[in-house]
Chain A
Amino acid sequence: MKPIKNLFIIDDDEIFVFLTLKIIQSTGRVENVQVFKDGEEGLEKLKSIQNEKEQWPEIVLLDLSMPIMDGWEFLEEYNALNPDMLNKVRLYLASSSISPHDIERSKRINTVSDFIIKPFEKERFIQMLDELSPN
């Protein structure tokens, strides 16, 4: 199985990030993981690479509740980025929210591939990777 090159985590919860990194490592299928502590940091990065195909992440894990710029605010600006990049990137919302309102809202946004209710399970992550590069 070919490993994916880039994965971004945009989340302010240190413990969650720590554990997610452990899961990712344990699969051995991701070459490079970058972590951003809020929406703004993540957005800045994506903006800066939107014309550099090599650096595009295959997967983005986006939290909803973050300081400075939360997940929704992030998505508003994210959707205005280079459409080619958006087509390539699979963006997953990963939130501890169980609000049906949030889930509904996420479904109305085309660029969101799925809404994952935390906790983040290893099995789910492997499934994500498989969807991305079917054997």
Chain B
Amino acid sequence: MSIQNSTIPANEKERLSALLNLRILDTGPEEDFDDIVNLAAQICDVPIALIAFIDRKRAWFKAKKGLEITEVPREESFCTYHLDNNDLVIIPDVSAEMEFSGTSAIKGHNLRFYAAIPIVLENDLVIGNLCVLDLHPRTLTKTQSNGLRILGRQIGKLLNLRSEVNKVSEINQVLSHETDESNRNLHKQKEFYENILNKLPTDIVVFNPEHKYIFANPGAIKNDEFRKYIIGKDDFEYAAYRNRDTSIAEMRRKQFLEIKNNAKEIRWEDSLKDPEGNTITHLRRLFPVYDDKGELAMVIGFGIDITDRKHLEEKQTEMLAQLSAQNVQLVDFCNIVSHNLRAPLVNMSMLAKFIEESQDDAERKLLISKLNPVIESIHSTFNELVESIQIKQDLEVSSEQVCLRDCLERTKEGLRAEVDKSEAVIELNITEANKIHSPPKYMFSIFHNLLSNALKYQSPKRKPHIIIRTTRREDKIILSIQDNGLGMDLTKHKDNLFKIGKVFHRNPDGKGFGLFMTKTQVEAMGGKIWAESTPDEGSTFYIEFANQN
């Protein structure tokens, strides 16, 4: 029988797994085991005692007395030879036993006496021994043997206890791990949701059914201190805290009660100024949340910044107004055009018919003579149309600094006959701005139209006195041309003043095209035109030129 074979018991596998489960191998010294070893040495009166656990390939010493080494190869240890034995083994002289003759323990330490009590676990598995050794052959008394047995059982109990403790601590570990995990998860989740609520670019507040704050995000209250303060308080307490008047708190309370009573969401828009003075508009909503029993659980309020949308809406409204104004203008334009062109055409066709049917030469001549003014009228209407369409296309006409004095001189030159005949006095008061940035063509046309109007509609009671002024307002220049002529009742004509084909005086030269042209030109430059007038006192036309820096 070889040594190797003899040292491996039948239940080796279970034995080893039980040993490993104890998690005792390679641990440090422990008082309990050291005490046992010392006690064993004392009881047996031997120099060497040890607790050996038999691992797969070694005997490892948990506690030892009188020995320096902590382990020996399994085949060199005595203990390995009686792992299938449950009782005390006593070998009075090792050298006498052929079985042990090859062990180093004998060579190294010259050991002669060996006794061991197996360490047995609850399920009868032998995992090691409590051994006592001596350098001389000897034996143990019955008392010593019993003492050794008791100590052996004690070790078994200690180890069983240890395995229980191991189990409990394992469970604890798993449990604590799980608890940690779920705590961490909870925390993560909380962080996740708070992050969302805090980072949302909206105001969010939550009230309890008593209208006290239970949550406010930084969108609602930016300041950390104020935000912390408000929890558990209501708007009145907050207003007092911030030294604010309670009007907002009162309004909020009213809204809250409305929701509570009607169980319905309310929404409204409010606008306030930001520190830069811009108007910020919020759409606010306040709505009740109920629990399973249908009781009011909380009220959530939130606001979204709709400033951009608001701006867009305003722009749209503005554009719509502009568009519909343009449409009206267009319809007007079309109607007038159709009238202005159609009227002479109708006359022409009627004249032609009459000429055709006329039997009388003299009459025919008269009719033919009437054709000329009609053709002229078509001609001039046509030219005016071309001119006004050109303005609408000419938006990119290049501007320059137009000297108003030069402009007036040129205009007076063109109106020489009218000016001389009426002995008009034209005053120029342009100290605030003597040049206007504009297309020269438009500037001359504006001067020409307004001055010729002033001359055309002069009062028969007095000589024309025309004053041309400029005033500066920020980057704008307002040009005014004031006359002392017939004037108009603007309550009657205000809407029609600048419309095409509108004439307000019995003057054969008035065709109602000049002011329409002037307005078109002014608007093409991004300016404005308006008038003030009193019948029989005179009119003043104002033109505002933008971007005059």
Contacts and interface: CB of A to CB of B under 8 A. Distances in A.
Contact of A19 (B336, B343, B351): B351
A95 B336 CA distance: 12
B347 A67 contact: no
A12 B354 CA distance: 20
Contacts of A64: 339
Contacts of B335: 97, 99, 101-102
Interface string B319-348: 000000000000100111011001110110
B188 interface: no
Contacts of A120: 350
Given A22-B354, A65-B501, A97-B338, A16 B346 contact: yes
Interface string B501-516: 1111110001010000
B350 A19 contact: yes
Contacts of A18: 370
A19 B512 CA distance: 25
A101 B339 CA distance: 13
Interface string A82-122: 00000000000001111101100000000000000011100
Q: Which of A37, A64, A118 has the most CB of B within 10 A?
A: A118
A67 B347 CA distance: 19
Contact of B342 (A19, A96, A101, A102): A96
Contacts of A58: none
Contacts of A68: 503-506
Contacts, number: 62
B374 interface: yes
A67 B504 contact: yes
Contacts of A37: 506
B354 to A, nearest CB: 6
B339 A96 contact: yes
B171 to A, nearest CB: 93
Given A38-B506, A68-B504, A19 B354 contact: yes
Contacts of A118: 342-343, 346
B503 A67 contact: yes
A15 interface: yes
Contacts of A98: 338, 342
A106 to B, nearest CB: 14
Nearest to B358: A22
A75 to B, nearest CB: 15
A13 to B, nearest CB: 6
Contacts of A96: 338-339, 342-343, 346
B246 interface: no
B512 to A, nearest CB: 7
Question: Interface of chain A, helix or strand or loop or mixed?
Answer: loop
Interface in B430-456: none
B108 interface: no
Interface string A44-73: 000000000000000000001101100000
Interface string A1-45: 000000000000101101100100000000000000110000000
Contacts of A67: 502-506, 510, 512
B504 A16 contact: no
Contacts of B374: 15
B181 to A, nearest CB: 79
A100 B506 CA distance: 29
A16 B347 contact: yes
Contacts of B506: 37-38, 67-68
A19 B352 CA distance: 11
Nearest to B377: A15
Nearest to A64: B339
A65 B347 CA distance: 15
Nearest to A95: B339
B350 A65 contact: no
Nearest to B504: A68
A119 B353 CA distance: 11
A121 to B, nearest CB: 9
Nearest to A70: B502
Nearest to A22: B354
B349 interface: yes
B346 A65 contact: no
25 contacts: A13-B343, A13-B347, A15-B347, A15-B350, A15-B351, A15-B370, A16-B343, A19-B347, A19-B350, A22-B354, A38-B506, A64-B339, A65-B336, A65-B343, A65-B501, A67-B512, A68-B505, A68-B506, A96-B342, A97-B335, A97-B339, A97-B342, A99-B334, A118-B342, A120-B350
Interface of A: 13, 15-16, 18-19, 22, 37-38, 64-65, 67-68, 95-99, 101-102, 118-120
Interchain residue pairs A-B with the least CB separation, the first 10: A67-B503, A96-B343, A15-B347, A96-B342, A118-B346, A119-B346, A119-B350, A19-B350, A99-B335, A96-B346
Given A16-B347, A65-B339, A119-B349, 16 more contacts: A15-B344, A15-B347, A19-B350, A37-B506, A64-B339, A65-B343, A67-B503, A67-B506, A67-B512, A68-B503, A97-B338, A97-B339, A97-B342, A98-B342, A99-B338, A119-B350
